[in-house]
Structure 1
Amino acid sequence: MNAQAEIQMKQLPGDFAIWLFILAELSVFALFFILYAITRARFPEMFAEGQAQLNVLAGVGNTLALLTSSWFVVRAQQKVHAGQKGGNVFLTLALVSACVYLWIKSAEYQHSVALGFDLSTNDFYFFYYGLTAFHMFHVILGMLILMLLMLQNWRGKYRSGRMNEFESGACYWHMVDLLWLVLFPLVYIL
Structure 2
Amino acid sequence: MIMNAWPADPFASKPPRAPRRRLREPGHVPGEIGIWVFIFGDLLVFALFFGVFVHERSRSAGLFEQAREHMNLMFGAGNTFLLLTGSLFVALSLNSLRQGASGRGSRMILVTLLCGAGFVVNKFLEYSSELGAGHTPSTNSFYMYYFVFTGIHLLHLLLGMVALVIMYLIARKPSLGRRDLRNLEAGACYWHLIDLLWIVLFALLYLMR
**Do the two structures share a fold, i.e. TM-score over 0.5?**
yes
C-alpha separation in 2, matches of 1:32 and 1:51: 18
C-alpha separation in 2, matches of 1:140 and 1:25: 16
Show the counterpart of 2:6.
Answer: none
The answer to whether structure 1 residue 164 and structure 2 residue 202 are counterparts is: no
Shift of 1:12: 1.9
Show the counterpart of 2:169.
Answer: 151
Amino acid at match of 2:153: H
2:122 pairs with 86, 94, 104, which one? 104
C-alpha separation in 1, matches of 2:187 and 2:175: 14
Larger Rg: 2
Where do residues 28-107 of structure 1 align in structure 2 (5 Å cutoff)? 28-84=45-101, 85-107=103-125
1:47-73 deviations in whole A, cap 9, x for unaligned? 101111101111110000000011110
**Does structure 2 retain, via aligned residues, the 8 Å contact 1:70–1:174?**
yes
**Does structure 2 retain, via aligned residues, the 8 Å contact 1:76–1:87?**
yes
Give the TM-score, by structure 1 length: 0.92
Q: How well do the aligned residues superpose, as a CA RMSD in angstroms?
A: 1.4
Amino acid at match of 2:88: W
- SS at 1:118's partner residue? coil
1:139 pairs with 153, 157, 166, which one? 157
Give the structure with the larger helix fraction. Answer: 1
Amino acid at match of 1:77: L
Amino acid at match of 2:67: G
- SS at 1:180's partner residue? helix
**Does structure 2 retain, via aligned residues, the 8 Å contact 1:14–1:167?**
yes
- SS at 1:163's partner residue? helix
**Does structure 1 retain, via aligned residues, the 8 Å contact 2:86–2:111?**
yes
The answer to whether structure 1 residue 176 and structure 2 residue 194 are counterparts is: yes
Structure 2 portions without partners, runs of 5+ = 1-24
Shift of 1:159: 4.7
C-alpha separation in 2, matches of 1:63 and 1:185: 10
Shift of 1:161: 7.4
Amino acid at match of 2:135: F
C-alpha separation in 2, matches of 1:169 and 1:50: 35
Show the counterpart of 1:4.
Answer: none
Segment of structure 1 superposing worse, 109-118 or 154-163: 154-163
